[in-house]
Amino acid sequence: MSLFDAAAFQAETGVSRETLDRLAAYEATLRKWQPKINLVGPSTLPDAWRRHFLDSAQLLPLLPDGVRVLVDLGSGAGFPGLVLAIMGVPEVHLVESDSRKCAFLREAARAAGASVTVHNKRIEAVASIATAIAADVVTARALAPLNDLLGWAHPFIQDRGVALFPKGQNVADELTDTTKYWKMRTERFDSRTDPTGTILRVSGIARV
């Protein structure tokens, strides 16, 4: 596989030089912190621009027009939420239970000049902030089965917003399982970074 670096990311996404510089500051912070905290799988770090940055950036065209507020659940190292904030989503909330990862997220956001709100909370406890945040979009990457994701996302978006979830090759089974508990509209998009991956865009979410 050919090297996919910052220049390749810019060619693929068309981001401005300024945005690329901010993403590069994020990437440099990730490399600096990775030896202290296991932020991403060590084997993925050499290909971070493809495996993490492009994997997150590919969600941007799938966001609804006029999106303002985005909540990223289980943010970890900030993918995809922090990338989407740097690329222009106005208000981004990063929910992460690990206080060390929250410290990283704040430092990475500072280095990249991104205005985000970091919530050091367990996913199961997000109801306490959901009442105060009317999100247009909820994202989560490599976090949990779809049924669980919808249960966590629903307090933020109800039936008015959209959820975007990158999923692997078992997405069909997850969808079948989930229809027992949820009514929803789903759209599927091929992942640009994983030949077996799918991005689910879910709307009209309501409990059965």
Residue ranges at the known binding site? 74, 79, 123-124, 141
Query: Other C-beta atoms within 10 Å of 206: how many?
Result: 11
Cis peptide before 80 (omega within 30 of 0): yes
Label residue 145 exposed, middle or buried (CB < 10 Å: 0-12, 13-18, 19+).
Answer: middle
DSSP per-residue letters across 44-92 = GGGGHIIIIIIHHHTTGGGSPTT--EEEEES-TTTTTHHHHHHTT-SEE
CB 85 within 8 A of CB 92: yes
Binding site as annotated, residues for S-adenosyl-L-methionine: 74, 79, 123-124, 141
Q: Pull the structure tokens for residue 51.
A: 């495996």
CB 114 within 8 A of CB 23: no
User: Distance between CA 132 and CA 139 in Å, rounded?
Assistant: 17
